[in-house]
Amino acid sequence: MSDNLLEISGLSVHYPGRANWFFQKAAPKKAVDDISFVVPKGKTVGLVGESGSGKTTTGRAIVKLAPLTAGKITYQGQDIGTLSNAAFLPWRKKIQMIFQDPYNSLNPRADILSILSEPLEIHFPGMTRADREARCAELLRSVQLPAEHLRRHPHEFSGGQRQRIGIARALAVQPELIICDEPVSALDVSVQAEVVNLLQDLQEQLGLTYLFIAHDLAVVEHVSDHILVMSKGKIVEQGTPSEILGNPQQAYTKTLLAAVPRF
Amino acid sequence: MSAEPLLKVQDLSVTFRTGDRATVAAQGVSYELAAGEVLAVVGESGSGKSVTALALTRLLPPEPTCSLTGSVKLAGVELLGLPEAKLAKVRGGSIAYIFQEPGTSLNPVYTIGFQVGEAIALHRPDIKDVRAEVVRALAEVHINDPQRVADQYPHELSGGMQQRAMIAMALACDPKILVADEPTTALDVTIQKEIMDLLARLRRERGMSIILITHNFGIVANFADKVQVMWKGRIVEQGPVAEIMRTQTHPYTKALIACIPRLGQRRRRLTTLSDELKVSR
């Protein structure tokens, strides 16, 4: 087995275009268009690009939240792109996701205990209620929140705390790969720094692998071992952070770099 | 400056009362803003920066829920305690606002043209051909094909385009001061740059002052003339941008600048705020 946890080759996600007035078939919208990359085990691969560049769709396609048009997704040598939803279930345990908006990704009517218990009920049906509660308390502590908060509801937390809860939920099933979809772009700079540090600490402690999707090049540069730059559904450039920053080849990467305010 | 500043805020405090609890959202805020100047207000969520800006034209709940003390003078005229009818003329007329999420600030059931036109018709009743003025206003904020966009609904536009439409609306009545509350936080970096360039141009051409609320020091450094840092409802530090970016006296300002990841300076860990500096919420 290779050192690559995830290998993507020729991945495409096309959505049907709107048929026009004369019932002619419209050209499909190519959200992701024939991209290939690998995510090595224990590393962080950063994926940058603007809104609409296809970076989120790429992340979602890996966990079957977006339909695959073509291409192969290989996880530890296993082709997982063609599996049915039911057959994919064991991989949902290995691949988890953290979303951008901590306000909309937690059920407002559920308390933290049930939010964190749900993935455990699905993936560890053998666990007793007491086991689950103990595990949830441990999860909260691992994201540096007090275990007493289990009975609280999402509205009682700040944005940064909610994002920690989102991270705890992803960690619940002991995943290997976490797809972080803009995990810090909705947060204040100081809170952003805390969450970024937390993600890096967890990676070290648990040997996690990240696919880190963001539009802020400075954050991506900070966390990533390898950076992919996406534009209009294609990967236009990739390399180590110092290669991308020190010697950007593509005009698009240069624009992206120029847009980052410097001081 | 010897002449009267455009805006002079003295000892402004904002207090919210709910039940028998009083929360002081801003306390003892004083500053001056000259015509054509860009003032950046920096601080985290809950530091009181938005509330202070909203207090200028009392875009806040009425007494006794929210009480204001101090003084806000616009070109020598005291705004605090001004009757509602007169205040309504100031809002949008002299001081206009744009907010963080253009998507939620625009009304989803009316076209862009209708909404921009509404602002124009309200503040400039002398204009006969509102439609032509709308198209001109949209073109001024660099919206391509303004004729078409005027007939579109907010959901048909991208975030950057929506924010441009908001700016067009805010500029409709030629305000002296534009309050931009996190105008680019919800936008991509490249769009962010376009919007900031647009604001910089409008300021140059119209001599308009801007109060820019943000937590992005990068934008502050590239765009503002002076900066004030708010923490727990107070201004803990203020001065010319170049000076504050170089040397910070308050530990909060230092920490806020230190916690930002910067291009080309890979560090093991990002600096975070110590517990006593956190805005308690």
Provide the residue ranges of all domains of chain B, joining segments of one domain with +.
35-58+85-262+269-277
The minimal CB distance from A189 to the residues B188, B215, B281 is found for B215
Structure tokens at A217: 């090049």
Whether A236 and chain B come into contact, CB under 8 Å, resolves to no
**Which residue, among A232, A233, A249, has the nearest Cα to A69 in the 3D structure?**
A233
Instruction: Give CA–CA dist A137/A150, Å, rounded.
Output: 7
Share above pLDDT 90 across residues of chain B, in percent, rounded to a whole number = 63
- Please give the interface size between A and B, counted as residue pairs whose CB atoms are below 8 Å apart: 97
The secondary structure of residue B29, as a DSSP letter, is E
A144 inside domain: no
CATH class of the domain whose range is B35-58+85-262+269-277: alpha beta
Closest-CA distance of chain A to residue B110, Å: 24
**B157 vs B187: CA distance, rounded Å:** 13
Asked if residue A249 is part of any domain, the answer here is yes
Q: Which residue of A has its CA nearest to B158?
A: A51
Percent of chain B at pLDDT exceeding 70: 97
Calpha distance B255→B277 (Å, rounded): 8
A83 in a domain, yes or no?
yes
Print the SS3 string covering B34-95: CCCCEEEEECCCCCCHHHHHHHCCCCCCCCCCEEEEEEEEECCEECCCCCHHHHHHHHHHCE
Maximum separation of any 2 CA atoms in chain B, in Å: 62
CA–CA distances in Å: residue A223 to residues A56, A227, B122: 18, 10, 50
Tell me if A55 sits within 8 A of A213, measured CB to CB: yes
CA distance A124 to A91: 14
Tell me, yes or no, whether A240 lies in a domain. Answer: yes
pLDDT for B53 beyond 70: yes
Residues in B closer than 8 angstroms to A193, CB to CB, are 259-261, 270-272
Determine, yes or no, domain membership for A191: yes
Q: Do A257 and B281 touch (CB under 8 A)?
A: no
User: d(Cα A19, Cα A17) in Å, to the nearest integer?
Assistant: 6
* pLDDT value of residue A23: 64
Which pLDDT does position B173 carry in this prediction? 80
User: Residue A237 domain-assigned?
Assistant: yes
**pLDDT at B232 (0 to 100):** 92
DSSP state of A25: P
Give me the residue from A50, A257, A263 closest to B245, CB to CB.
A263
Q: What is the pTM of this model?
A: 0.84
A199 belongs to a structural domain: yes
What's the pLDDT tens digit per position in B109-163?
Answer: 999 999 999 989 988 888 899 999 999 999 999 998 999 999 999 999 988 899 9
Q: Which residues pair with B7 in a beta bridge?
A: B33, B74
Arithmetic mean of pLDDT, B217-225: 90
- State the pLDDT confidence band at B234, using cuts at 50, 70 and 90: very high
Q: Where do we find the tokens 């840092």?
A: B229
Non-local CB neighbours of A113 within 8 Å, separated by 6+ positions: A133, A136, A150, A151
Q: Do A255 and B190 touch (CB under 8 A)?
A: yes
Contacting residues of A for B275, CB less than 8 Å apart: none
Contact B270 A217 (CB under 8 A): no
Per-residue pLDDT of B162-196, as tens digits, reads 999 999 999 988 899 999 998 988 788 888 888 99
DSSP 8-class letter at A27: P
- Kindly indicate whether the ipTM for this predicted assembly is greater than 0.90, answering yes or no: no
DSSP state of A76: T
User: Where is pLDDT greater, at A260 or B21?
Assistant: B21
Tell me the β-bridge partners of B275. Answer: none
Choose the closest CB to B264 out of A50, A52, A245: A245
Please give the angle made by the CA atoms of B99, B104 and B107, to the nearest 5 degrees.
110
Helix (H) or strand (E) holding B8: strand B7-18
Domain hosting A55: range is: 4-12+30-102+176-259
- Paired with A98 in beta bridges are A180
Give the model's pLDDT for residue B281. 45
A171 in a structural domain: no
Contact criterion met (CB < 8 Å) for B189 and A215: yes
Q: Cα distance from A121 to chain B (closest Cα, Å)?
A: 33
Residues of chain B with Cβ-Cβ distance to A256 below 8 Å are 189-190
**Closest by Cβ to B261, choosing from A215, A218, A259:** A218
Asked if residue B24 lies in contact with residue B50, where contact means CB atoms within 8 angstroms, the answer is no
- The gap from C-alpha B112 to its chain's centroid, in whole angstroms, comes to 21
Angle, alpha carbons A161-A162-A163 (nearest 5°): 90
The answer to whether the CB atoms of B281 and A196 lie below 8 A apart is: no
B193–A contact, CB cutoff 8 A: yes
Nearest CA in chain A to B45: A188
Contact B216 A261 (CB under 8 A): yes
Per-residue pLDDT 10s for chain A (263 aa) are 458 999 999 999 998 877 666 666 677 889 999 999 999 999 999 999 888 889 999 999 999 999 999 999 999 999 999 999 999 999 999 999 999 887 888 999 999 999 999 999 999 999 999 999 999 999 999 999 999 999 999 999 988 899 999 999 999 999 999 999 999 988 888 889 999 999 999 999 999 999 999 988 889 999 999 999 999 999 999 999 999 988 999 998 998 888 777 77
The residue among B265 and A153 whose pLDDT is bigger is A153
Q: N- to C-terminal Cα distance for chain A? A: 45
**Phi then psi for B97, rounded to 5 degrees?**
-125, 145
Distance CA B5, CA A44 (A): 52
Is the pLDDT reported for residue B203 higher than 90? yes
A216 touches chain B (CB under 8 A): yes
CB contact under 8 A, A263 and B261: no
A221 → closest Cβ in B221, B255, B263:
B263
* B273: chain A residues, CB-CB within 8 Å: 190
Residue type, B22: A
Total domains, chain A: 1
Q: What contacts A103, CB < 8 A, 6 or more positions away?
A: A154, A159, A162, A186
Q: How confident is the model at residue B1 (pLDDT cuts 50, 70, 90)?
A: very low
Encode pLDDT of B59-109 as tens digits: 999 888 999 999 999 999 999 989 999 998 898 889 999 988 888 889 999
Question: Domain of A191: which CATH number?
Answer: 3.40.50.300
Q: B259 vs A193: CB contact, 8 Å cut-off?
A: yes
Q: What are phi and psi of B32, to 5 degrees?
A: -125, 150
In the DSSP assignment, the letter for residue B144 is S
Q: Which two tokens stand for residue A116?
A: 């964190």
B221·A197 Cβ contact <8 A: no
Beta carbons of A259 and B266 less than 8 Å apart: no
Q: Which of B 134-173 lie inside 8 A of A, CB atoms?
A: 158-159
Q: How far apart, in whole angstroms, are the C-alpha atoms of residue B271 and residue A166?
A: 22
Dihedral sign for Cα B178, B179, B184, B186, please: negative
